């Protein structure tokens, strides 16, 4: 990657009477940043930003978010347009290479990915080591990390060919692993990939086909699954992507880095929110109970939050939530399901988006608000939701990992701290304590 951010001005900071010049750096879109890289060396002062609300950790050319406008772009293309008009492998190519593929490039890419969909047979013993009721995210974390033992050479990350191989392998194998997690959890035999199917179609078959029955992929469901993959593919420097970059900054094996990202995604403030959002909607149950939950969300003495609402970056509706709302209607229509939870969700969205508390704080539905409803209609149990998110986000993670390694300004990530613990003191032997 060629560094493209440029200095557009200078900011001054005065610390204890002494002034320091700091370059103001600007990319192609979005807010400028103050370059503080030399500040500690020059002044002996750190910047302090827990939660990174005002800190850019890197330059990137992959994804752009305008949180105020509710806009999400992959390599300059609107995500809503990509979700409606392209396929997940086309978008994967775009994220990795920076441009949409032409027909020939697409054909080669698709064939490369499908040639890597199988898992090494010994991966199966990792699954056999899990309790049968293990959370599928636990299985995914462990087995994706285990791939590092099978493809150790892919860690020679300075060589383009080895890096490409790691990128293709992980994108190809993650649906097979995710489907295996599901099959293990429900106690069914694993279904091998079938490479004449699409990325999403193959995944659905690996999840829902059983040896005793014929299985045909429903094109409406396949399209919905593919859209869900596209919508979740990348989201700039979120917690899990930053985790992948931080792990990768030390030169760690790429599959181990993806395992680190998977672990970070698991939490309910990040990828786990779709599970939490669906549980909340089910708990509300009927439209007449919504005011009670809105009141709880506003009550500062109650830790309850409206799950699927609010976002660190979006202060308008998350554009992914709009596509997800449409997809939910398409899927429920196709399957002929009338789901009371959808009614609760739509009413809750209507009420909350007009309430002063939510409007003032820019709290609108995020991608997870509707995704739980659609994923459960597709037949996935709630504990698989985050696995599906991880599957899709793996393409973004590996694209970001690749970009980081190509960045000439890349260094090992090493934040500092403001220490507030005990000062130097003498050791006291145990019998004197
Ligand atoms: N319900 C009620 N109040 C909320 C909510 C919510 N869902 N989210 C934020 N607030 C309030 C919060 O109490 C605070 O109020 P005040 O200023 O009076 O103290 C204000 O809004 C700002 O909240 P914050 O916690 O400082 O915001 P954050 O940027 O640190 O947190 C968030 C972002 C996504 C963790 C948070 O909005 C949240 O917990 N939402 C619910 C969980 C969720 O849906 N997460 C999925 C995120 S999207 C998927 C992804 O990209 O990973």
Mutation probe of ligand 1 site: the residue of 310, 312, 367, 372 with most atoms within 8 A of C-beta? 310
Strand partners of residue 10:
23
Q: Tell me the C-alpha distance between 365 and 353, whole Å.
A: 8
- Ligand 1, residue 235: give the atom nearest the CA: 51
Write out the DSSP string of 176-238.
HHHHHHHHHHHT-------TTS-HHHHHHHHHH--TTS-----HHHHHHHHHHHHHHS--SS-
Q: Structural domains in the chain?
A: 6-56 (2.20.28.60), 81-409 (1.10.580.10)
The alpha helices in 249-287, defined as continuous H runs, are 254-265, 273-284
CB neighbour class for 267 (10 Å; exposed up to 12, middle 13-18, buried from 19): middle
pLDDT at 270: 84
Backbone angles phi, psi at 19, to 5 degrees: -100, 145
pLDDT digits (tens, 9 = 90+) for 178-200: 999 999 999 999 999 999 999 99
Min mean pLDDT across 26-35, 114-123, 369-378, 395-404 is at 369-378
pLDDT at 317: 84
Contact 273, 113 (CB under 8 A): no
Q: Per-residue pLDDT for 372 more than 90? A: no
The CA-atom distances, in angstroms, between 76 and each of 66, 99, 193 are: 12, 9, 33
**In the structure encoding, which two tokens stand for residue 218, read together?**
């429903």
Q: Tell me the C-alpha distance between 160 and 233, whole Å.
A: 23
pLDDT at 87: 97
pLDDT at 157: 56
Q: Tell me the C-alpha distance between 396 and 404, whole Å.
A: 12
pTM: 0.91
- Ligand 1, residue 318: give the atom nearest the CA: 48
Mean pLDDT of 323-329: 91
Q: How distant is the alpha carbon of residue 366 from its chain centre?
A: 13
What percent of the chain stands above pLDDT 90?
80
Min mean pLDDT across 130-144, 153-167, 231-245 is at 153-167
Q: At what angle do helices 385-406 and 239-248 cross, to 10 degrees?
A: 40
Mean pLDDT of 252-263: 96
Q: Tell me the C-alpha distance between 47 and 36, whole Å.
A: 8
Query: Which residues are CB-contacts of 1 (< 8 A; sequence separation ≥ 6)?
Result: 61, 403, 406, 407, 408
3-class DSSP assignment, residue 34: strand
Selecting among 168, 226, 311, 318, the annotated active-site residue is 311
98: left (phi over 0), alpha (psi -120 to 50) or beta: left
Annotation marks residue 160 as catalytic: no
pLDDT at 340: 83
Residue 287 CA, ligand 1 centroid: distance in Å? 23
- Location of structure tokens 């990795």: 96
**In the structure encoding, which two tokens stand for residue 393, read together?**
């986000």
Mean pLDDT of 318-323: 91
Annotation marks residue 49 as catalytic: no
Q: Tell me the C-alpha distance between 174 and 140, whole Å.
A: 9
Q: Ligand 1 within 6 A of 114 CB?
A: no
Q: Whose CA is nearest to atom 27 of ligand 1?
A: 312
pLDDT at 154: 62
**In the structure encoding, which two tokens stand for residue 432, read together?**
């004197």
Residue 309 CA, ligand 1 centroid: distance in Å? 7
Q: Ligand 1 within 6 A of 297 CB?
A: yes
Min mean pLDDT across 126-140, 163-177, 325-339 is at 325-339
pLDDT at 336: 87
Q: How distant is the alpha carbon of residue 295 from its chain centre?
A: 30
């Amino acid at each position: 990657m060629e560094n493209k951010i440029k200095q557009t001005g200078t900011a001054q900071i005065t610390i204890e009477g002494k002034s320091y010049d700091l370059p103001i750096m600007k990319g192609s879109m979005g807010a400028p940043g103050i370059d503080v890289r030399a500040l500690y060396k020059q002044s002996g002062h750190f910047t302090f930003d827990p939660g990174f609300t005002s800190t850019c950790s890197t330059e990137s050319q992959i994804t752009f978010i305008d949180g105020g406008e509710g806009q999400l772009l992959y390599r300059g293309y609107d995500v809503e347009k990509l979700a409606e008009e392209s396929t997940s492998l086309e978008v994967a190519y775009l994220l990795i290479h920076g441009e949409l593929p032409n027909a020939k490039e697409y054909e080669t890419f698709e064939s490369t990915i499908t040639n890597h969909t199988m898992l090494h047979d010994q991966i199966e013993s990792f699954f056999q080591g899990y309790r049968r009721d293990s959370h599928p995210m636990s299985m995914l974390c462990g087995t994706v990390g285990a791939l590092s033992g099978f493809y150790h050479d892919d860690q020679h990350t300075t060589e383009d060919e080895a890096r490409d191989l790691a990128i293709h392998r992980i994108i190809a194998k993650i649906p097979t692993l995710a489907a295996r997690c599901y099959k293990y959890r429900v106690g069914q035999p694993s279904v091998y990939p079938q490479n004449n199917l699409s990325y999403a179609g193959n995944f659905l078959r690996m999840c829902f086909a059983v040896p005793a029955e014929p299985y045909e992929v429903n094109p409406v469901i396949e399209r919905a699954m593919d859209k869900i993959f596209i919508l979740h593919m990348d989201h700039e420097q979120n917690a899990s992507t930053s985790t992948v970059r931080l792990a990768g900054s030390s030169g760690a094996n790429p599959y181990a880095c993806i395992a680190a990202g998977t672990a970070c995604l698991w939490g309910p403030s990040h990828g786990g929110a779709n599970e939490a959002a669906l549980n909340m909607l089910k708990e509300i149950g009927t439209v007449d109970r919504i005011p009670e939950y809105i009141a709880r969300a506003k009550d500062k003495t109650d830790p309850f939050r409206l799950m699927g609402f609010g976002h660190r970056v979006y202060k308008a509706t998350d554009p992914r939530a709009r596509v997800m709302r449409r997809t939910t209607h398409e899927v429920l229509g196709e399957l002929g399901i009338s789901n009371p939870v959808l009614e609760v969700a739509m009413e809750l969205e209507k009420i909350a988006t007009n309430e002063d508390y939510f409007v003032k704080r820019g709290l609108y539905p995020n991608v997870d608000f509707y995704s739980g409803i659609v994923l459960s209609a597709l037949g996935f149990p709630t504990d698989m939701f985050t696995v599906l998110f991880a599957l899709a986000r793996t393409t973004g993670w590996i694209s970001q990992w690749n970009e980081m390694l190509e960045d000439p300004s890349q260094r090992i990530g090493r934040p500092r701290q403001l220490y507030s613990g005990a000062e130097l003191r003498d050791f006291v032997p145990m019998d004197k304590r």
